[in-house]
Structure 1
Amino acid sequence: MPHKRAKASVRKARQKEKDMPVSKDDAKIEDTPKGFSRLLRFKEMAIKRQQEKKEAKKNTDALTTKKNISIQPGERMKDFVQRVESEFQSDMIEAQKKSKPTSDRKKRNQETRKQKRAAKLQKELDLYGGRDFDDLKDNVKFGEVADAPPVLNKIPKARGRGKEMLEQKNKKALSIPDTTAKTAVLKKANGYESEEDENMKALKASHKRKIQNMSAAARIQLDNEREKVIEAYRAKKAKKMNDSVFN
């Protein structure tokens, strides 16, 4: 039976064989798992295929370099023409493609693509004035915290459509005969107002309307909350100033 234990004599003989030194005959016995040996065979076959492909490529390159266009002795003209056509078929196809002129439809498609690219570039120039915000850099130190929004001392430069709008406002201001009204319009037109500024104005107006429609108790509560926030901000700013002075 397969599950039956071997005799003591057999077990002793096996143990002696294990303790014996390795001989040349033992090298022939394979103890590697079947899966691992299969993987090794696959790898060897893949390497062999790669080498065969390389050799075949070398042979084809050598044949192409040694192509003989001249007619062989005893070769008929018909056989010679067939041989040349079969050998140089790929070269002939490439030459035909290169010599073939481009069709009108292809030319039109190329022109339309060029025009679309040019129109896209022109649109970007009109919108942004040829510049994006890639040239702007913000040097922030590690651990630096912004406690308040930045103070803008300069009006942003008008570019693109904003510049056109600004020029139109200035022209309108110059056309006004009254000097006081002209100066007022010019002062107003000197800045650059974008769509975001207009949206912010609309938002502020809506907030004002909401405050006007609020009850007295709600207004008092809102004012108290605003005062608390302002006091907390001032205390934080004073603490920061004191720390910077002592440090």
Structure 2
Amino acid sequence: MPHKRAKHSDRVAKRFAAGQDLAPGGDDGFFSDMPKGAMRILQGAKVQEAYRAKLQAKKKAEQDAAAKAKTKAKVAADTNPSGGANEDASELTIRPGEKLRDFNARVEQAMASDIHASFRSATRSQINARKRERRKLRAAGIDPDADPEDADKEEAARKAKADKAAALQANEPSKADLKRQRQTIQQTGEIKDFAKASQVKKINDVAQAPPTLTRAPRGESVQAKTRKARLIAKITGNDEDEAENKVKQAEKARQKGRVPQKLAAATAAASSKKRKNDAHDATGEPSMARQRVLDEERQKAIQAYRQVKEKKIRESEFKRAKKA
């Protein structure tokens, strides 16, 4: 700019290179020794005019670019109505006088939807891949969230189980072998071991077996027989007490036939003796033996009481004598 000048070191170097005793130059005059601030004030109108011209040129360039873009978009819309937006986004160019920062912002704004869609698509692809991997692990019988060590143990156990199942399946005869064995039996009539009926009883066979009675069922009780006899007598119009007495007599006769005669007599004697003792105790007069035992216990208690009393008397007399 007109008011700018070289820095002091450059001016000193230039002056030193030019030497001394030189003729005055064309630029030497009024502004050669004037301070920079004064030069800026005096040349302010010129600087402002240059700045306004620059702004006007920039504005005109933007208007021309906008008019061209509008015309181009209109032509593209007339020729291809569906692809106008994509064409504008694909042909983004920097405008005359536009800063690079503004151009980058405009490009990002125009392509924001495409960038977001691409990002979501990539993220969704990763999520779907992880989900597919987890489904594969679950189908294989492995917990995807388990610890790696536990997963290794589970994998080893699963392989061992699969090997055991494969070994059992290999030991079992195939359908073709069974068919050949059946044909051999039909032709020769020989019964192999596998065709014999098993004699082992299972729990289900025992549980579903019919019941077996080891004892005869009990007869009716005396109360049931008496109740039934009274009911029949009431229905027929006979005496209920007489029917009850008949039932009791029949029951006594039945019991008498079942119990031996000596056992019945001993039982009757014991019961009569017990009744006599109970009656004797009820009068309040103990037997001679019991009376003798009671007297002995009474004498022992009296003797013990007297000994304790005499001991206390001696102790009290000894204390009084000691105090005196």
TM bin, normalised by shorter chain, reads under 0.3
Tell me which of the two structures has the higher relative contact order, counting C-alpha pairs closer than 8 angstroms and 6 or more residues apart: 1
| TM-score normalised by length of structure 1 | 0.22
Q: Greater Rg, structure 1 or structure 2?
A: 2
TM-score by length of structure 2 reads 0.18
